[in-house]
Structure 1
Amino acid sequence: MIEVRGLAKRFRLPSHQGKPPQSHDPRGHDGWFHAVRDVSFRCAPGEVLGLLGPNGAGKTTTLRLLSTALKADAGSVVANGVDLLADPLAARQRIGFLSGTTGLYGRLTARENVEYFGRLHGMSAPYLRRRCDELFELLQMHQFVDKRADQLSTGMKQKCAIARAVVHEPQIVILDEPTTGLDVMSAKILLDFIASYKALRIPLIFSTHHLHEVDKLCDRVCIINHGKTAFHGSTEELRHLGGSADLYDAFVDVIKQGG
C-alpha cells in the first residue's frame, strides 16, 4: 500500500513575474507558484491507479515528489509503514520510476543500459542476467537489446526505459505517461506489461491523457486540477460523479465542477 496525504510543492516565481504562468491559474501568488497544493490518494497492492488532469495540473510534479526527485514542502508518502519523504534512500530502493524523458545513455546498448542500473541497485550478476532476460521477454525487446540506445525508435527507447526502471523489482512502480508517442503495437505491449503487475500484488501508478487506458487498466483514479485532488475513487464512482457512462464526459464534468 502507498498512501499520499496533503502533498505540496511550490516554486519561486522570477522577480519580474508577479502573475502566475496562466492568468486563470490560482496557484501563482505572493511571489510563488504553488504547483502542487493538496494532493492525496492511495494505491493498494495489486491496484493500478491512473493519475489524470489537464496539462499543467501538477501530475508530473506529483510523480517527481513521490520518486523523491523533488523535495516536498508538505505532506507525506507512506509505503508499508515507511515515510518515503523522510527517508529518500529507502524510497529509491522501493520505487521504480519512469520519468517523462527516457534518460538512456546513447552510446550504451539497450542491454547495457538496463544492466548498468541493475548494478547500481547492487544486483548480483546471475540474478541480473535472469531478471534482464525476463524483462526482455515480457517487453519483447530481444530483437534490439544489442543496439545502441541512440539508434532505437521511440517505442524501443520507452521499453528500455521501463525495463531500466523496474529491473530491481521495486515494491512500487510509478510511470509518467508511458505510452505517449507510441504506435499501437508498442502501446499494447506496455499496457499488457502494466496489467501484469496486478498479479504481482504491486501498486502501480501511472499518468496518462488516454482515458481508454484508464478504462482498461485502472482500479482507482486520482484527478488533479490546479494542484489539488479533484477526485479520488473508482472509475465507476467517477462516472457517477460526472453524470455520464462515458469516461471522457465524466472527466470533463469533474474538472468543470472544480472550476
Structure 2
Amino acid sequence: MARKFFVGGNFKMNPTSQAQKKTIVKVLNEADLDPNVEVVIAPPSIYLLPLKDLLRKDIQIAAQNCYFKSSGAYTGETSPAQLVDAGIPYVILGHSERRTLFHETSGIIAEKTRAAIDAGLRVILCVGETLEEREANRTKEVVEAQLKPVVDTLTKDDWSKVVIAYEPVWAIGTGKVASAAQAQEAHADIRSFLAKAVSPEVAENIRIIYGGSVTAKNSKELGSQKDVDGFLVGGASLKPEFVDIINTKRALASSS
C-alpha cells in the first residue's frame, strides 16, 4: 500500500502576533490543497486551541513538545494527556533544537515518545546529524543511535503512530539543504535499519519525511525520491509558498 504523503509545518516560536496568525490561517483556509496529502501544523502552545478552532478541518494540529508525565508539579510543561483532552492529535518530539538548546537526550525523547503514544497521541519523531558528523561520514551511525532508544521502547504496533522526520541539523534554518540524493540515502538507511531492528513491514509502511530549509523551489526534487514521504517545513510554513510545498505531489503528477 502506498504511503500517504505527509507535510508538516513547524512554526517554532512564531508567529509573534495575533495579526500574523490570522494571515497564516486565511492563506491555508482559502488554499486549494491536495486532498491526498496529510497536512499538520505545529504552532506555539499558546495558539494550539485557537488555531484548532479557526483552521479548516482537513488540517490537523501538532504540539511542538510534551513531557512524559501525565500531571504534576512540572512548571512550564504540557502533558500528553492534556494534549489528547484538548483534541490535539500530534506532537513533535526530538527536534534538534530540543536536543541542543534544552539538552534532551535520545533516552528522554524515547521516554516522551512512549508516554505520548500511551496517551493516544501520534508522534513526529525527529532525527538528524550535525555538519561535523556529516563530514565525518557518521550520518548513518548518528541517526541509528538516536533511533535505538525508541526502538527499544516501542512495540511493533506502536510504529503505526510514528512519522520519522530526518532533519540534518546543518540544513535547519541555514538555507542549506541536503541534495535529493543525500536525503534519499539517509531515508533509505533509516528504512533499512528499521527493517532489521523492528520488522520489514514497519519499515515499508512508516513515513519518513525530510526537514531542513524546504522551499517550494526544492520540494519537487526532494519529493520525487523513492523514500521521501513528505516534509517537515520550518520557515517556509509561515509563508504562502507552504501551499505549493503541500501540493508537491500534485505538481509532480501534472508535470510527468
TM category, shorter: 0.3 to 0.5
User: As a proportion of its length, which structure holds more strand?
Assistant: 1
Q: What TM-score, normalized to structure 1? A: 0.39
Q: Which has the larger radius of gyration?
A: 1
More RCO (CA 8 Å, sep 6+): 1
Q: What TM-score, normalized to structure 2? A: 0.39
User: As a proportion of its length, which structure holds more helix?
Assistant: 2
